Structure 1
Amino acid sequence: MPAYDAFLLLSFGGPEGPDDVLPFLENVTRGRGVPAERLAEVAEHYYAAGGVSPINGQCRDLIAAIEAAGMDLPVYWGNRNWRPLLTDTVRRMAADGVRHAIAFATSAYSSYSACRQYRDDIEAAVAAAGPRAPRIDKIRPYFNHPGFIEPFAANTEAALRTLPPDVADGARLVFTAHSVPVGMAAASGSASAGTVVPGGRYVAELREASRLISERTRGGSLGWDLVFQSRSGPPSVPWLEPDVNDHLRMLAKDGVPAVVVVPAGFVSDHMEVVHDLDVEAAETAASLGLAFARAAAPGSSQQFARMVCELVAERTGSPGAPPLALGGFGPAAGDCPADCCRYARPSRPGRS
C-alpha cells in the first residue's frame, strides 16, 4: 500500500476581501465567455458579505480539526481559484521534499466538477511544478461515509427543532445540491468500469445521500425531495432541475407548512449556501408563508475531521481501517478509471 509523506487539503477557494472578488470570479469563469455584467451581479453577493467568502476560513478550521483528530502527516492546503492556489502549494511541497501526498477534496460526489476536475487540477499543478513535484493521489468520493451522513442528520434534527412546534411534524426535507449541465450529470461514472447509471452517478449518489440522511432524521418519518441550486449556465443548455425556489413554491401550493433545507451536495456553508439558501430561498419561503429552517453542512465538525483521517488510513491499508460506507452503494473506487466523469463543455455559438 502507498506510503505518504504529506496530506493536501484541496478546495475551491474564495475571496477574502472586496478587492479579491472580481479577480476570483474571473478565475472561476475563465474560458467560459461569461459576460462582465453577470460577474458584476454575482460579485454583489460577496460585497453584501464584506467581500469575504466563508470557505477559506472554513478550510482553516477543517485543517485545525483534522490535526486535532490525529493527522500525523504534514498538512498543506491548495485551492482551485484563489490563494493559496494549488499550483503554488505543489511548488512549495516540491521545495520541501515531499514525494508522495494524499489529497482530500472538499467535494463528496462523482462528476466532472465534483471530482474529475480536481484530478485534472492536480495533474496540471504537478506538471507546472516540474520534475521534483510529488505524486499526489486523490481520496475517493465519500458521499455515503458515516462521517458525512451522520453529522448532516444531526444538523437536520437541530434545524427541525428551530421550527414552530405546530408545523415541525408536517415539515418536508428539501435536499439541495449544485446544479450542473444535464450532459455533465449523465457523464458522471465510468463506462469502462461498468458504473454508468441512468442520469449518471452524480444524481444517484445525491439521492442515496439524501435517503440516508432522511432515514436518520425523525426516524425517517418525514417526506423528502432532491432539488438543485446555483445554476450558472446559459439558458440554451439544459441543467438539472427543479430549482429550489421553484420547488418551494410548489410545496407551498400543495399545503406543506414548513421545510428544512439540507445542502447535502456541499461540505461547508460557503457563499453559494449562505446566499442561495439563507438569503434567496429563505426570502422565497417567507413570501409564501412557508416556515423555513436550514441545516448546517458538516464543515469542520469533529466527526467529519475524523472521517478525513479514516479515509487516509483506508487508503494506506492501515489495520483496522476498512472502507466505510452506509447503504447499498458501497465505498466508491479509490482510483478512478481514465475515462471517469469526462465531460466537454458545449461551445457557445460563435466560439470554438
Structure 2
Amino acid sequence: MGEPYDSFLLVSFGGPEGPADVMPFLENVLRGKNVPRERMLEVEAHYQHFGGVSPINAQNRTLIASLRAEFDAAGVDLPIYWGNRNWDPLLPDTLRQMAADGRRRALAFFTSAFSCYSGCRQYRENIAAAREEVGAGAPVVEKLRMCFNHPGFIEPNAQNVRTCLEQVPPERRGEALVLFTAHSIPLSMAENCRYEAQLNEASRLVAEGAGAPRWRLVYQSRSGPPHQPWLEPDVCDFLREEHARGGLNDVVILPIGFVSDHMEVMFDLDTEARDLCEELGVNMLRAPTVGTHPRFVSMIRELVTERIAGDEKPALGAFGPSHDVCPADCCLYTPRRP
C-alpha cells in the first residue's frame, strides 16, 4: 500500500495576474505548439480586454478556501497545496515546498473533468517533470479519477441549466436550445482519448437532469492553424447556422468542459457569443460552471476519501467510474505537422 497520503494538491492551468504577465504566460502556454503568432496576439488582446488578469487564479484560491472548510468539516486532515502548469504558483515550486514540509505522498485533483492529453496526460507529465526538477525528496503525486459522470459534477451543472431555463418565458421554454460547450482539440488528439465520448455522455446526463429536450454539444476556443482539423462545430458558427434555419429564439449555454468561469468562458461566450446573439436577436442565457458549488466541492472531498478508504465510486450513466491509474498509452498525443 505504500506510505499514507499526507497532502492534497490542486493542479491547474494558471493565468496572468497583470498586463505585464500576459505575453510571458502565453509563451509558456504555446511553447512547442504549432499555433500561429497572429493567434497568440489575438489571445493577448482578449486578456488585455480584461486588464491583463485571468480570473482562474482567484477562482482557484476561492476553491481552496472552500475545500479547506469541507476537509475540516469531514475530518480530512490533509494540508492543501496548489501548483500550475503555466504561471505562479508553478508546479516545481509547489513540489519543492511540499518536500521542504516533509510531504511524501499526495493526492492530486486536476481542474479538468474530461480525459484528453491537455486535460490529463500533460498534467501528469508536468508533475513528473517537476518531481525530476526537485530531485530527491520530491513527493509522489497520484491523480484522482476524472469526474465527468460523478453525481457531484452532473447535479450542479443540471441545476445551473434548469435555473436558466426557468428564466425563459413558459410558452417558449419547450423550444429553448441548450448548448454545451467545451474547448476544441485537434482531431489527432481526440482520436486517442475519450474526450468527445465523455463530453457527449456528460451533456446527455445534464440535459436529462435539467429536463432539457433540445441540446447539442459544440466547441469553442480553437487555437490551431486553419488547415489542421479540430473538433467542431464552433459555438458561434452553430448559432449562425441554427438561426438561419429558423426557430432559434432562446439559447442556454453551459460551458460543461470547464470547471470555472475563466478567460475562455468570459471572452468566447460572455463576449463573442453574447454579441452574436444580440446581433441575431436571440435571447442568450449563460449557465455558470460548477466553480465552488457546494456539491462540487463535496465531490472533490469524496474523491479523496474514496481513494483513502476504498469506498464505492459513484458514477451516473453507462460509462462507470473512470480509472484511478492511467494505462501507459492513455491520452497519448503526437501532433501532426504539415
Task: Using structure 2 for the length normalisation, give the TM-score.
Answer: 0.95
* Separation in 2, partners of 1:288, 1:37: 28
Q: 1:246 deviation in Å?
A: 0.9
**Equivalent in the alignment of 1:106:** 111
Of 200, 205, 215, the residue aligned with 1:207 is 200
8 A Cα contact 1:163 1:292, kept in partner? no
* Separation in 1, partners of 2:131, 2:227: 36
Matches within 5 A, 1:67-78: 67-70=68-71, 71-78=76-83
1:225 corresponds to 2:213? no
Matches within 5 A, 1:244-259: 244-254=235-245, 255-259=247-251
What is the DSSP-based 3-state SS (H/G/I as helix, E as strand, rest coil) of the residue aligned with 1:141? coil
What is the DSSP-based 3-state SS (H/G/I as helix, E as strand, rest coil) of the residue aligned with 2:188? helix
* Separation in 1, partners of 2:317, 2:61: 31
1:139 corresponds to 2:129? no
**Equivalent in the alignment of 1:193:** none
Of 147, 154, 160, the residue aligned with 1:155 is 160
In the alignment, residue 126 of structure 2 is paired with which amino acid? D
8 A Cα contact 2:16 2:54, kept in partner? yes
Instruction: State the 4+ residue runs in structure 1 displaced beyond 4 angstroms.
Output: none
Q: 1:165 to 1:50 in 2, by over 3 A?
A: farther
8 A Cα contact 2:109 2:144, kept in partner? yes
Question: Across the two proteins, how many residue pairs are aligned to each other?
Answer: 332
In the alignment, residue 99 of structure 2 is paired with which amino acid? A
What is the DSSP-based 3-state SS (H/G/I as helix, E as strand, rest coil) of the residue aligned with 1:296? coil
Question: Per-residue displacement from partner, 1:157-197 (whole Å, max 9, x unpaired)?
Answer: 12223334543332011011110001100111xxxxxxxxx
Of 278, 284, 296, the residue aligned with 2:288 is 296
**Equivalent in the alignment of 1:49:** 50
What is the DSSP-based 3-state SS (H/G/I as helix, E as strand, rest coil) of the residue aligned with 1:69? helix
What is the DSSP-based 3-state SS (H/G/I as helix, E as strand, rest coil) of the residue aligned with 2:284? strand
In the alignment, residue 205 of structure 1 is paired with which amino acid? Q
* Separation in 2, partners of 1:133, 1:157: 45
What is the DSSP-based 3-state SS (H/G/I as helix, E as strand, rest coil) of the residue aligned with 2:145? coil
8 A Cα contact 2:180 2:255, kept in partner? yes
What is the DSSP-based 3-state SS (H/G/I as helix, E as strand, rest coil) of the residue aligned with 2:318? coil
In the alignment, residue 43 of structure 2 is paired with which amino acid? V
Q: 1:250 deviation in Å?
A: 1.9
**Equivalent in the alignment of 1:236:** 227
Percent identical residues: 56
Where does the alignment leave 5 or more consecutive residues of structure 1 unmatched? 189-200
**Equivalent in the alignment of 1:11:** 12
Q: 1:33 to 1:239 in 2, by over 3 A?
A: closer
Where does the alignment leave 5 or more consecutive residues of structure 2 unmatched? none
**Equivalent in the alignment of 2:181:** 176
Question: Per-residue displacement from partner, 1:103-152 (whole Å, max 9, x unpaired)?
Answer: 00000111111111111111111111101101000111110001111110
Task: Using structure 1 for the length normalisation, give the TM-score.
Answer: 0.91
* Separation in 2, partners of 1:274, 1:80: 21
In the alignment, residue 204 of structure 2 is paired with which amino acid? R
* Separation in 1, partners of 2:19, 2:278: 30
8 A Cα contact 2:176 2:250, kept in partner? yes
Question: Per-residue displacement from partner, 1:322-341 (whole Å, max 9, x unpaired)?
Answer: 11111111100110111111
Of 283, 303, 321, the residue aligned with 1:331 is 321
1:39 corresponds to 2:79? no
1:117 corresponds to 2:122? yes
Question: Per-residue displacement from partner, 1:29-78 (whole Å, max 9, x unpaired)?
Answer: 01125444432221111111111111001100110111111242010000
1:340 corresponds to 2:333? no
1:266 corresponds to 2:258? yes
CA RMSD of aligned residues (A): 1.3
* Separation in 1, partners of 2:41, 2:27: 10
Question: Per-residue displacement from partner, 1:78-116 (whole Å, max 9, x unpaired)?
Answer: 000000001110111111111000100000111111111
In the alignment, residue 198 of structure 2 is paired with which amino acid? E
* Separation in 1, partners of 2:172, 2:305: 44
* Separation in 1, partners of 2:250, 2:205: 21
In the alignment, residue 52 of structure 2 is paired with which amino acid? G
* Separation in 2, partners of 1:308, 1:33: 34
In the alignment, residue 172 of structure 2 is paired with which amino acid? V
